[in-house]
């Protein structure tokens, strides 16, 4: 007989304890079981097992054992406990975040997507000349997607299949990556890179902050360190903000390390994730490139963790448990006694502050490998508007674009807004049209002639009358997005090919890869896009980058707005002139004197760091203090606010309580937030835990806890 201590799925957050069940068969810890809890059949997670002679009174048997083997290692067990503490959540919630869907306690599985492929058949069939042409096309391009055949030969495709000249085959859709130029050999390190390597070699473990502008050769250092770890028989984890936006990094890793590489990200279906998970567990995958959730893979023996663009907000999980990937990665590196390299051109203030206090080891690369700095100019949009110039593409930017395009170079234009117009206001009362499910302004999309809510996806046509005042005078447009910009470029530059990359154009599977592939092959001259084009792209023909409304982010009210704006400007500017030809960058901004703009133009991280740190100090903002956000949501507005007030009253300790702040309604839910700000994060966490024990009714409310939040909009 075996007694099992199980964590169970339970909606009440204060229940973070194990419950005892018994099993007649041996069960290993880390597997899922089904148990009866108060008459409900729920999933449990075996935390520990004890052999026993008899079963004490009142202990129930497990109903079934769901997994044959545990994929949770001792290390991950310990990690779940750590994660629960730092995020103030429950153990079971941490396991759920850690495991891929197939073995998640709450098993929800995505459907496998199939696609049809056309394959040539060897048997002889009589064909017309045009059909033969189609057949040869299949033969030449095999394996060929049937949809592509239909596009090229609309009237022949089906006939070929009917005649049996081609066979149609259903295959599971696989994520395909475009092929970029490959760098097979290891490069000889530059003097700068050698010095950085020496500094890293001095310590066999610990946290390193590798700071160097885009193009300074950080990736090359990651790859050299990875090679060393692999040679010692260890595994390597390389974390990136988003897989689709880093095809070139993946290609570089793949061309060096080939089949030892596994790629892990949210776009994989659950079967693929499960397979990768097992590959890592069995030690078959020795190097993994992955996004946030890859930090939970069951490595046997890690020799190196790299976290590229460590400041990126996609490393922070928004939903519960709201963990930061960096904390988890640092914990795991310590567990394995290996190095973790945080790499960035614009480190988070928090990490850089730690590095200059020697909590992390600071390693800096001070030059670009090719020693070329882009030539960055700032254009004031206020001035442009006063002189009657366009505020979309100013004269200066237009002239530069002409020069670069005439020289057969490529141009990237970044505008962090999608859609055509960003708002439509009533001509009579000036109220903007808003989403009926969210308290958010609708954007106008011209291609679909619809109003779209960028928060919930709700779309609608123009109303006949203004919902606010009833006027039928119509609406006027304000602001512009990428769709409008694309049209503007096409109108002004005749014959120039333009590609647009934003959430609207990449929604199709592999949309990113298609667009980036086309641009990489120079099939278009201009790439227009939102912040998703600011990262990681390395195209030798891009010599001009224009950043439109570059300081729009400064209008956000939260304390991270300057840091995020600076980061975006620096990243975008880094896209120009990555090869032999020096690049040019034009920053179109409303406030050319703002230090975030000036320092980005000067590519001066340190100046920005010191300036921003002094503001943070003056305002007692992180990293000088810690924050915990508690966000209550409810279908009823007064309920959300009342609950938040109750939280305010119950929370006690040496910290400030800010709020209650009402957040905009989203997806028909109302939100109320309070913010704790203090010097002692442990005390603040304890206060939040105590709040639920002191006021048990709060455990049943929808309260999201976010320790060190990155999104305070
Ligand atoms: P980062 O990661 O800092 O942006 P990369 O490692 O991508 O920098 O290097 C920038 C460019 O310089 C890349 O095209 C890369 O191939 C090239 N490069 C990096 N290191 C070397 C080197 N030691 N010798 C020659 N070229 C290099
Ligand atoms: Zn009106
Ligand atoms: Zn909405």
Which of 134-148, 156-170, 631-645 reaches the highest mean pLDDT? 631-645
Q: Best mutation site among 180, 217, 218, 224 for ligand 1, i.e. most ligand atoms within 8 A of its Cβ?
A: 217
State the pLDDT at residue 15: 62
How much distance in Å is there from the Cα of 596 to the middle of ligand 1? Answer: 27
Confidence of residue 180 (pLDDT cuts 50, 70, 90): very low
Confidence of residue 114 (pLDDT cuts 50, 70, 90): low
How much distance in Å is there from the Cα of 430 to the middle of ligand 2? Answer: 6
The bound ligand whose nearest atom lies closest to the alpha carbon of 437 is 3
Helices 91-98 and 74-87 cross at an angle (nearest 10°) of 120
The bound ligand whose nearest atom lies closest to the alpha carbon of 580 is 1
501 vs 506: CA distance, rounded Å: 6
Q: Could you tell me the CATH number of the domain that includes residue 400?
A: 3.40.50.300
pTM greater than the 0.85 cutoff: no
Which of 616, 638, 671 terminates a domain? The answer is 616
Assess whether pLDDT exceeds 90 at residue 282: no
Q: Classify residue 64: in a domain, yes or no.
A: yes
Which of 616, 641, 657 terminates a domain? The answer is 616
Q: Best mutation site among 181, 220, 535 for ligand 1, i.e. most ligand atoms within 8 A of its Cβ?
A: 220
How much distance in Å is there from the Cα of 563 to the middle of ligand 1? Answer: 26
Q: Residue 693 CA to chain centroid, in angstroms?
A: 35
Q: Long-range contacts: 604-612, Cβ < 8 Å, 24+?
A: 605/211, 605/213, 605/345, 605/346, 605/347, 605/352, 605/570, 608/566, 609/349, 609/352, 612/349, 612/562, 612/563, 612/566
Spell out the residues 6+ positions from residue 383 whose beta carbon is closer than 8 angstroms to its own: none
Confidence of residue 161 (pLDDT cuts 50, 70, 90): confident
Q: Which atom of ligand 1 is the closest one to the Cα of 252?
A: 16
Assess whether pLDDT exceeds 60 at residue 574: yes
Q: Classify residue 109: in a domain, yes or no.
A: no
Contact call for residues 298 and 72 (beta carbons, < 8 A): yes
| Closest C-alpha residue for ligand 1 atom 5 | 217
Mean pLDDT, range 45-73, rounded to an integer: 85
258 and 355 share one domain: yes
Q: Classify residue 370: in a domain, yes or no.
A: no
State the pLDDT at residue 713: 74
| Closest C-alpha residue for ligand 1 atom 18 | 217
| Closest C-alpha residue for ligand 1 atom 10 | 215
Spell out the residues 6+ positions from residue 544 whose beta carbon is closer than 8 angstroms to its own: 400, 401, 404, 409, 410, 411, 412, 576, 583, 584, 585, 586
- The CA angle 458-460-461, to the nearest 5 degrees, is 165
Which residues have C-beta under 5 Å from ligand 2, the single-atom ion?
Answer: 426, 428-429, 466, 468-469, 471
Q: Which atom of ligand 1 is the closest one to the Cα of 183?
A: 16
269 and 303 share one domain: yes
- Number of Cβ within a 10 Å radius of residue 470: 11
231 and 284 share one domain: yes
State the pLDDT at residue 275: 79
Mean pLDDT, range 93-114, rounded to an integer: 62
44 and 10 share one domain: yes
Assess whether pLDDT exceeds 90 at residue 289: yes
The per-residue DSSP string of 459-497 comes to: EEPPPSS-TTT---S-EEEE---HHHHHHHHHHHSTT--
User: Nearest CA to 35 among 57, 14, 15, 64?
Assistant: 64
Q: Give the residues surrounding ligand 1 with Cβ less than 6 Å away.
A: 183, 187-190, 193, 212, 214-220, 369, 538
20 vs 6: CA distance, rounded Å: 6
413 and 451 share one domain: no
Q: Residue 344 CA to chain centroid, in angstroms?
A: 16
The bound ligand whose nearest atom lies closest to the alpha carbon of 441 is 3
138 vs 115: CA distance, rounded Å: 16
Q: What is the pLDDT of residues 378-405, one digit of tens each?
A: 999 999 888 888 889 999 999 999 999 9
Mean pLDDT, range 66-78, rounded to an integer: 81
Confidence of residue 57 (pLDDT cuts 50, 70, 90): confident
| Closest C-alpha residue for ligand 1 atom 20 | 217
160 and 197 share one domain: no
How much distance in Å is there from the Cα of 424 to the middle of ligand 2? Answer: 11
pLDDT, averaged across the chain = 87
Mean pLDDT, range 635-649, rounded to an integer: 94
Confidence of residue 553 (pLDDT cuts 50, 70, 90): confident
Q: What is the pLDDT of residues 452-469, one digit of tens each?
A: 998 888 999 999 999 999
99 vs 567: CA distance, rounded Å: 32
The per-residue DSSP string of 211-252 comes to: EE-TTSSHHHHHHHHHHHHHHTT-EEEEE-S-GGG-HHHHHH
Mean pLDDT, range 542-570, rounded to an integer: 89
How much distance in Å is there from the Cα of 219 to the middle of ligand 1? Answer: 7
Residue 158: enclosing H or E segment and its boundaries?
helix 157-163
Mean pLDDT, range 597-604, rounded to an integer: 92
State the pLDDT at residue 177: 35
Q: Classify residue 608: in a domain, yes or no.
A: yes
Length of the chain: 713
State the pLDDT at residue 101: 64
Q: Best mutation site among 183, 190, 219 for ligand 1, i.e. most ligand atoms within 8 A of its Cβ?
A: 219
Q: Classify residue 185: in a domain, yes or no.
A: no
Q: Could you tell me the CATH number of the domain that includes residue 683?
A: 3.30.70.600
Assess whether pLDDT exceeds 60 at residue 105: no
How much distance in Å is there from the Cα of 472 to the middle of ligand 3? Answer: 24
685 vs 85: CA distance, rounded Å: 8
User: Nearest CA to 70 among 86, 42, 49?
Assistant: 49
120 and 199 share one domain: no
Mean pLDDT, range 206-217, rounded to an integer: 92
Spell out the residues 6+ positions from residue 224 whose beta carbon is closer than 8 angstroms to its own: 186, 189, 197
Q: Which atom of ligand 1 is the closest one to the Cα of 365?
A: 3
Q: What is the pLDDT of residues 126-160, one digit of tens each?
A: 888 888 888 888 887 777 888 888 888 988 888 88
Assess whether pLDDT exceeds 80 at residue 90: yes
- Number of Cβ within a 10 Å radius of residue 435: 25
Q: What is the pLDDT of residues 305-351, one digit of tens each?
A: 999 999 999 999 988 899 999 999 999 999 999 999 999 999 999 99
Higher pLDDT, 307 or 477: 307
The bound ligand whose nearest atom lies closest to the alpha carbon of 466 is 2
48 vs 17: CA distance, rounded Å: 12
123 and 146 share one domain: yes
Q: Classify residue 186: in a domain, yes or no.
A: no
Confidence of residue 353 (pLDDT cuts 50, 70, 90): very high
Domain that holds residue 472: 421-479
Sign of the Cα torsion 538, 539, 545, 548 reads: negative
Bond prior to 628 in cis (omega within 30° of 0): no
How much distance in Å is there from the Cα of 661 to the middle of ligand 2? Answer: 28
Please tell me the total count of domains within the chain. 6
Assess whether pLDDT exceeds 90 at residue 184: no
Q: What is the pLDDT of residues 256-278, one digit of tens each?
A: 887 788 888 877 777 778 778 87
- The CA angle 212-605-222, to the nearest 5 degrees, is 15
State the pLDDT at residue 591: 93
Residue 645: enclosing H or E segment and its boundaries?
helix 637-650
Q: Best mutation site among 189, 194, 196, 215 for ligand 1, i.e. most ligand atoms within 8 A of its Cβ?
A: 215
- Percent with pLDDT over 70 in the chain: 93
Contact call for residues 307 and 342 (beta carbons, < 8 A): yes
**In 369-519, where do the E strands start and end?**
375-380, 410-414, 423-426, 443-445, 450-452, 459-460, 475-478, 498-501
393 vs 467: CA distance, rounded Å: 34
Spell out the residues 6+ positions from residue 634 whose beta carbon is closer than 8 angstroms to its own: 640, 643, 669, 670, 701, 702
Assess whether pLDDT exceeds 50 at residue 421: yes
408 and 505 share one domain: yes
Assess whether pLDDT exceeds 60 at residue 67: yes
Q: Classify residue 181: in a domain, yes or no.
A: no
The per-residue DSSP string of 595-634 comes to: HHHHHHHTT-HHHHHHHHHHHHHHTT-TTSSEEEEEEEEE
Q: How far apart are the first and last CA of the chain?
A: 54
Assess whether pLDDT exceeds 60 at residue 632: yes
Q: Which atom of ligand 1 is the closest one to the Cα of 221?
A: 6
661 and 697 share one domain: yes
121 and 228 share one domain: no
Which of 44, 68, 103 terminates a domain? The answer is 103
Q: Classify residue 108: in a domain, yes or no.
A: no
How much distance in Å is there from the Cα of 251 to the middle of ligand 2? Answer: 53
Contact call for residues 572 and 532 (beta carbons, < 8 A): no
Q: Which atom of ligand 1 is the closest one to the Cα of 190?
A: 23
* Residue 289 DSSP code: E
Assess whether pLDDT exceeds 80 at residue 194: yes
Q: Which atom of ligand 1 is the closest one to the Cα of 189?
A: 23
Assess whether pLDDT exceeds 80 at residue 577: no
494 and 401 share one domain: yes
The bound ligand whose nearest atom lies closest to the alpha carbon of 224 is 1
Assess whether pLDDT exceeds 80 at residue 681: yes
User: Nearest CA to 309 among 320, 293, 286, 325?
Assistant: 325
State the pLDDT at residue 355: 97
């Amino acid at each position: 007989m075996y007694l099992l201590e199980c964590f169970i799925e339970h909606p009440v957050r204060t229940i973070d304890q194990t419950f005892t069940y018994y099993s007649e068969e041996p069960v290993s810890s880390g597997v899922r079981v089904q148990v009866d809890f108060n008459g409900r059949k729920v999933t449990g997670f075996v935390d520990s097992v004890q052999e026993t002679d008899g079963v004490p009174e009142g202990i129930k048997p497990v109903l079934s054992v769901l997994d044959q083997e545990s994929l949770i290692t001792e290390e991950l067990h310990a990690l779940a406990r750590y994660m629960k503490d730092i995020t103030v959540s429950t153990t079971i919630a941490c396991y759920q975040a850690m495991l891929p869907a197939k073995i998640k306690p709450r098993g929800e599985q995505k459907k496998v997507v199939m696609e049809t492929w056309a394959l040539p058949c060897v048997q002889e069939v009589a064909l017309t000349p045009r059909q033969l042409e189609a057949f040869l096309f299949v033969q030449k391009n095999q394996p060929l997607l049937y949809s592509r055949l239909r596009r090229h030969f609309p009237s022949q495709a089906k006939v070929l299949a009917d005649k049996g000249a081609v066979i149609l085959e259903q295959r599971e859709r696989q994520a395909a990556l475009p092929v970029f130029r490959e760098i097979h050999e290891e490069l000889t390190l530059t003097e700068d890179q050698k010095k950085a390597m020496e500094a890293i070699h001095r310590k066999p473990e610990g946290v390193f902050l590798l700071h160097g502008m885009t193009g300074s050769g950080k990736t090359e250092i990651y790859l050299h360190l990875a090679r060393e770890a692999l040679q010692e028989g260890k595994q390597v984890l390389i974390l990136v903000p988003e897989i689709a936006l880093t095809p070139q990094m993946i290609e570089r890793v793949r061309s060096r390390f080939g089949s030892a590489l596994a790629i892990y990200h949210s776009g994989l279906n659950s079967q693929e994730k499960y397979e990768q998970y097992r590959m890592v567990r069995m030690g078959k995958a020795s190097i993994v490139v992955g996004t946030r959730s890859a930090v939970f893979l069951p490595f046997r023996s890690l020799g190196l963790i790299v976290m590229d663009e460590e400041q990126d907000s996609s490393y922070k999980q928004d939903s519960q448990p709201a963990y930061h990937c960096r904390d988890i990665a640092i914990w795991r590196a310590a567990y394995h006694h290996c190095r973790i390299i945080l790499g960035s051109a614009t480190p988070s203030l928090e990490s850089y502050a730690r590095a200059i206090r020697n909590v992390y080891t600071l390693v800096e690369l001070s030059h670009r490998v090719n020693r070329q700095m882009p030539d960055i100019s700032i254009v004031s949009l206020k001035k442009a508007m006063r002189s009657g110039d366009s505020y979309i593409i100013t004269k200066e930017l237009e002239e530069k674009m002409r020069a670069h395009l005439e020289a057969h170079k490529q141009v990237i234009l970044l505008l962090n807004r999608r859609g055509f117009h960003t708002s439509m206001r009533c001509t009579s009362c000036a109220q903007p049209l808003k989403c009926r499910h969210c308290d958010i302004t609708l954007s106008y999309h011209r291609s679909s002639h619809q109003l779209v809510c960028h928060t919930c996806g709700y779309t609608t046509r123009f109303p006949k009358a203004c919902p606010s005042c009833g006027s039928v005078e119509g609406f006027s447009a304000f602001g512009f997005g990428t769709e409008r910009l694309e049209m503007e470029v096409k109108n002004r530059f005749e014959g120039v090919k333009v590609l647009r990359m934003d959430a609207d154009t990449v929604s199709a599977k592999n949309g990113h890869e298609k667009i980036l592939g086309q641009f990489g092959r120079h099939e278009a001259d201009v790439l227009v896009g939102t912040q998703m084009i600011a990262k990681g792209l390395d195209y030798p023909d891009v010599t001009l980058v224009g950043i439109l409304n570059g300081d729009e982010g400064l209008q956000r009210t939260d304390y991270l707005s300057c840091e995020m704006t600076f980061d975006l400007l620096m990243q975008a500017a880094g896209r120009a002139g990555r090869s032999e030809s020096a690049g040019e960058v034009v920053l179109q901004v409303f406030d050319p004197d703002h230090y975030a703009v000036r320092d980005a133009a000067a590519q001066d991280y340190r100046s920005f760091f010191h300036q921003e740190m002094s503001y943070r100090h003056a305002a007692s903002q992180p990293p000088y203090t810690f924050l915990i956000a508690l966000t209550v949501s409810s279908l009823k507005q007064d309920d959300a606010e009342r609950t938040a007030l109750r939280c305010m009253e119950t929370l006690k300790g040496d910290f400030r309580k800010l709020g209650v702040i009402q957040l905009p309604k989203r997806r028909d839910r109302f939100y109320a937030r309070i913010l704790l700000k203090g010097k002692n994060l442990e005390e603040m966490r304890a206060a939040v835990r105590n709040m639920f024990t002191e006021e048990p009714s709060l455990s049943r409310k929808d309260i999201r806890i976010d320790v060190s939040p990155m999104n305070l909009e």
